[in-house]
Chains A and B, each alone.
Chain A
Amino acid sequence: MDGPPGNANLLPVLPVLIPLIAAALSLLAWRSLAIQRGLGLAGAVGLLASAVTLLVEVERGPILVLQVGAWPAPFGISFVVDRFGAVMTVLAGVVGVATFVFSMGSVDARRQRLLYHPLLCVLLAGVCGAFLTGDLFNLYVWFEVLLMSSFALLALGGGVLQVEGAIKYVTLNLLSSALFLIATGLVYGALGTLNMADIALKVRAGDSPEAVVAVSVLLMTAFGIKAAAFPLFFWLPASYHTPPFAVSAIFAGLLTKVGVYALVRSFTLMFVAESEFTHAILLVAAGLTMAVGVLGAASQREFRKVLSFHIVSQIGYMIMGLALFTPLAIAGTIFYVIHHIVVKANLFFIAGIADRLRGTSSLVHAGRTSLYAKAPFVSALFVVAAFSLAGMPPLSGFFAKFVLLKAGVEAKSWTIVATAAAVGLLTLFSMTKIWAEAFWKAPDPADAPIDRTRSPKPPARGMIGTCTALAAITVLIGIFAGPVFEFSQRAAEQLLDGEQYIRAVLGEQALARLETGGETSGSLRIADGTTAEIGGPR
């Protein structure tokens, strides 16, 4: 047997491979729900375990790179794990495991029989693939993987609301994918490479034609749709309240964050040549996203719709950090993402428990029971998650917001600081609305739409357990805010140090071009913008 040489370092692809294998085997076992369930959970746990190992590895050492198929970069596909990618993968694992556990008690058997578990597995594989790949086109492929499985999960067993929500979701996300695809092709046309490190190198060396800015803005809009930034977010509030709660939760936790991840990756590693221009657009978008999202939440009267609009609003915070583009601000974005994924998924899970206990998700109508009086533990879980989301100390959200505000103050961007602060207050307002209406309000037998056909049923133990674990993580992030922040800082430094990434993927000699090619600063452009220099790093 012969073939290209290579090492057996499998670790960087494991978070993708494990759930994918679980999904493939589940398809073979399509007759047995029990096997699918077990495989699914095992896949998620395996993903989490491998992700944690990855995180430990990158914390200890340099950026991990796997050249898939042992083909050298930039020719084959590279899987690249830095701190940011690793922590995102860990979060995907956490939410994945939580979703599987929560689903067991909450998703009906009919839906489960429609291959629910393999779909979830593939969704997780797609999300992790997007976090770990170092290749632009491969990123597109993983986006499609996660998108396709989210389509299927959204429409699974669909009632009318579900399919109507799904068609909006599908249409706008496919538009985004098409834009992404075009942009990828254009990037290859302009730079002759798809490898992110190679793109970064060429942009830094000044090899990029001026029109690449327009391509990067095209990418920005494509990712902006995925991230649900203003004014590209419509698909999110139109669909997230329709599927089963477990599905809502994993979507809320992970999907938009893949868009945020892609934005961060693109505009810290690759397209930094015209940061005054691109990041100014991002800053405006960030402010408007926060404000419009939170106002949307204030206008809603359904549990999950309030939460959905809040996702939009909080995407604004994450983009704010990216747009400010200082090490502290990027650290803020990372902290915010870490906090948000856990809390947001948890809130959707809690919404599921509340819906089960109250018999309705409406905030206008009194439910079957006053949760505050009858379900103090669930209430406490909600308080932790909701006040964390609203940025109240000493919970995780406070520190996330604090770092971003601090970055804003230090960058003297007063408008965004004022917006972020005001939006914080409005977030508090809408969280208390849910609290007051869904938890405090007394049941009123005369009040109409409780779904009487749904038998009141206490939440399964797994459901409560899931929420408790996630709430505990929220509290722990608050208690260990220092270490989490320090990690975010290290991750941010790594993100902003493009050369480290390039060195890891392309090797030391690639950087030599930067020194001969002139300045290494991120504000290079070639004079006439007509031709790109020919010749790659090898």
Chain B
Amino acid sequence: MAIVTAVSATFLLAALAPWLGRVLGTRAGWIFATVPAAIAVWLATRAPAILSGTPIEGRLAWAPSLGLELAFSIDGLGLLFGLLISGVGGLVLIYAGAYLGPHRHASRLQSFLLVFMGSMLGVVWSENLLGLFVFWELTSISSYLLIGFDHERPAARAAALKALLVTGGGGLCLLVAVLMLGSIGGSYDLGALLDERDTILASPWLGAIVVLVCLGAFTKSAQFPFHFWLPGAMEAPTPVSAYLHSSTMVKAGIFLLARLDPLLGSAAWWGPLLTAFGATTMVLGAVLAVRQTHLKRILAYSTVSSLGIVTMALGIGTEKAVVAGFAYLLAHALFKGSLFMVAGAIDHGCGEKDAERLGGLRRAMPALFTASLLAALSMAGLPPLLGFIGKELLLEATLAAPTWTTALVVATTFAAALTVTVAFLAGVRPFIGSLAETPRTPHAPSPGLLLGPGLLALLGLAAAVLPATAATPLALGAAGAVLGDVPEKSLALWHGLTPALGLSALAVAVGAGAYAGRRIVRSGLDRIGALDRVGPERLYGAALKGLLAVAGGQTRLLQSGHLRSYVFITLGTVVLLVGGTLWLRGAVPFDAGPENPTWPELLVGAVIVAGSIATVLSRTRLAAIAALGLAGYGLAIMFVLFGGPDLAMTQLAVETLTVIIFVLIFRRLPQFRSFSTPLRRLADGLVALIAGLMVTGLVLVIARTDTDPTLARWFGDHSVPDAYGRNVVNVILVDFRAMDTLGEITVLAIAAIGVLALLRPGRMRRRHRGRAVS
């Protein structure tokens, strides 16, 4: 139950935050942070138990009939992520308070951050895939609202939309995959699904499931070719970038891959897909990062690269690789979160975001510099920091990779080298050299701004120096959740003189060189930059534009605003469907019926036909009304011929009244004009003709069958004895089926009210914005 409490406490606080923010003012962040801090502490105390193999569990039935349960379970994987989410989350809440200061909507931001935190905890602790998905989508929504925090800027709105569409699209793929898994395995519970693992692996849907899961994970974790939304998301305020877009949300995709690895890991395409896309993303992200000068964008692209690394590690799938992946993930969360907050603090302190226009800040912000340096060195993979351990393990793992070994080693070393460059660029460059001119005079950050980056950077150091206290158990525990059992291994700074160390040294040397010659490197890369024109980001833009064009085009075509074409299409559809069915099934035999028509009948028929055709052909209003009346009176006579005096009288009266109304109204209307072209008229005539044939056919086919006389007989038998009326039609109307008549008179009453409202609309406010009259 503790888990449920933890998650719901976060959501509860989120709901109260806007109100609390008003009460507490700028200090609110510190208060809000107590909840995540408490969660982190709780997790830490329970960590030994979890790591020794007894996960914490909690359950809240939600909609069991739908297979949806909030079934939580914290294993090694959940512990690692849970600590990151709550730990970094607490720091970010404090940081956000300081960053936004007295901003009017500061507490709104914190509220969304808390929503996000709760959702993220839900994702990483869910035992039930459907529950996981629910929280997964919530992270997308809260991310949307967070990226668009500066909602009055169009760029922020566009970036929020981009992130939402990409991750939302992936979310739908994931949903379908989850549905397929549930359909095969009969449950959405991971445990139950694992029991059905063999069935799932043998399913013909396996390929589709793997691809759909990957689409979900790759979009969320900004893997190539979906990486482009992440740099765009830097439109968000820095606390958001630090939290969502470096240390937590983007890792949700990786979490998903890790979570499903035991289930899908042996599928043929799983490993190669992850390795290939991870490696591509790793290299691409690193290259793109070097090209940037804007601090947050540098960090964003390098985050893309790091996410690629972890994906690749999961793809390789060996014990070494998985451990390396989680060690790197932990290191990355610490150093990247720290660096983002540093970037934000710099921006806050001097109003400049461009790394190349910053310099010499070490004197104004010494403490921040220390934090930044530690984080940057960790990122660069230098000892004695956690980044170093992660990178060493990774190189070792690639060297031992079962397939594609050389390519992976080269790619990883290359990316590591560029990461060194990027680390210096983002974490060191702004502080060294001579003081650069900035929009604001640099001043030291407040404690709130310093706490986050400082603490995270220090943790990166502490975890590396004392790996056994936290880093080793956490990484191994997470790896154990993926691999099935916890590997016998320990993380250490010193591994001896291994090939990995050599590659590492090479990478640092190359990276430092590239940093020194970054102008040359950049101009070189800019030449490749031409590729941007065909890149996925362009594709996204083109797709969006294309979608709008298609949408507009088809809508303009269909919803043309022209009533004529509406009727035409509607009628055409009716004719096609009904006529088609009749054609296919009915094969209308031309059957004139048992009896030949008599002369009066022929005459009446001719009168009605003549009237209706004359209505179509007449060119004046009065002629048309007269013709219409002819058809109507003809109808009345027809009713007389076939034993319907009530009908005939009613038709006669109604027709007379109709003619009167038509005359009264049409005299105020213009003369008939013909608007359509002959071709249109021909097309309309054709459709009308087929429609007429359809009605004739239907009537003929049905008239051939004898109507079951049960009802007619019953009415005839019961009319006099039970309803005291001899006119059976009238008895049906006022007694047997009086409900119809009640509806009928209601229609009449409403029609009269409607006419009254139309003709006596009351006082109209005249305005001159009306359409021009031509």
Contacts and interface: CB of A to CB of B under 8 A. Distances in A.
Same complex for A and B? Answer yes
A234 B585 contact: no
A160 to B, nearest CB: 6
Interface in B156-173: 157, 160-161, 164-165, 168-169, 172-173
Given A192-B711, A193-B708, A175 B567 contact: yes
Report the contact-size class of chain B (Cβ under 8 Å from the partner): 35 or more
A118 B753 CA distance: 10
Nearest to B184: A409
A530 interface: yes
Interface stretch (A208-216, A315-323, A347-355, A496-504): A208-216
Contacts of A215: 698, 702
A38 interface: no
A52 interface: no
Nearest to A210: B585
A69 B61 CA distance: 48
Q: Which of B148, B703, B710 has the most CB of A within 10 A?
A: B710
Interface stretch (B84-92, B265-273, B415-423, B558-566): B558-566
A190 B554 contact: no
A406 interface: yes
A534 B708 contact: yes
Contacts of A451: 769
Q: Which of B68, B554, B737, B746 has the most CB of A within 10 A?
A: B746
Q: Which of A296, A410, A453 has the most CB of B within 10 A?
A: A296
B466 interface: no
B141 A75 contact: no
B429 to A, nearest CB: 35
A125 interface: yes
Given A158-B758, A296-B555, A74 B134 contact: no
Interface in B732-751: 735-740, 742-744, 746-747, 749-751
Contact of B134 (A141, A145, A296, A394): A394
Given A298-B547, A486-B65, A432 B762 contact: no
Nearest to A219: B578
Given A75-B736, A118-B753, A158-B758, A211 B66 contact: no
Q: Which of A152, A202, A393 has the most CB of B within 10 A?
A: A393
A442 B62 contact: no
B747 A530 contact: no
B64 A482 contact: yes
Given A145-B747, A485-B63, A160 B771 contact: yes
Nearest to A163: B758
Interface string B706-746: 11111100110010001000000000000111111011101
A524 interface: no
B66 A387 contact: no
A300 B556 CA distance: 10
A432 B161 contact: yes
A421 interface: yes
A218 B157 contact: no
A25 interface: no
Contacts of A115: 753, 756-757
A145 B737 contact: no
B711 A292 contact: no
B755 to A, nearest CB: 9
Interface stretch (A85-93, A97-105, A395-403, A505-513): A395-403
A238 B559 contact: yes
Interface string A106-118: 0000100111001
B747 A75 contact: no
B148 A436 contact: yes
A473 interface: no
Given A399-B63, A536-B710, A179 B574 contact: yes
A168 B563 contact: yes
Interface stretch (B175-183, B310-318, B650-658): B175-183
Contacts of A218: 574, 578, 698
B747 A144 contact: yes
A127 B165 CA distance: 38
A103 to B, nearest CB: 15
A421 B175 contact: yes
Interface in A35-72: 68-69, 71
A224 B758 CA distance: 29
B698 A214 contact: yes
Interface stretch (A181-189, A246-254, A262-270, A455-463): A181-189
A39 B573 CA distance: 43
Contact of B165 (A234, A235, A394, A429): A429
Given A77-B739, A175-B570, A428 B165 contact: yes
B585 A211 contact: yes
A28 to B, nearest CB: 12
A167 interface: yes
Contacts of A436: 148, 151, 157, 160-161
A138 interface: yes
B176 A114 contact: no
A148 B585 contact: no
Given A405-B176, A481-B68, A485-B66, A4 B740 contact: no
A453 B762 contact: no
Contact of B754 (A68, A75, A151, A217): A151
A148 B555 CA distance: 28
A237 B566 CA distance: 12
Interface of B: 18, 61-66, 68, 104-105, 108, 130, 133-134, 137-138, 140-141, 144-145, 148, 151-152, 157, 160-161, 164-165, 168-169, 172-173, 175-176, 179-180, 182-183, 547-548, 550-552, 554-556, 558-559, 561, 563, 566-567, 569-571, 573-574, 577-578, 581-582, 585-586, 695, 698-699, 701-711, 714-715, 718, 722, 735-740, 742-744, 746-747, 749-751, 753-754, 756-758, 760-764, 767, 769-771
24 contacts: A27-B753, A68-B738, A71-B735, A110-B763, A144-B743, A152-B750, A157-B761, A171-B563, A191-B708, A193-B708, A202-B708, A209-B702, A214-B698, A220-B577, A232-B573, A295-B551, A299-B556, A402-B66, A402-B130, A428-B165, A436-B148, A440-B152, A480-B63, A485-B63
Given A179-B574, A534-B706, 19 more contacts: A27-B749, A76-B736, A115-B757, A138-B740, A148-B754, A152-B750, A152-B753, A155-B754, A158-B761, A192-B711, A214-B701, A218-B698, A234-B570, A292-B554, A373-B104, A428-B168, A440-B152, A442-B152, A489-B65
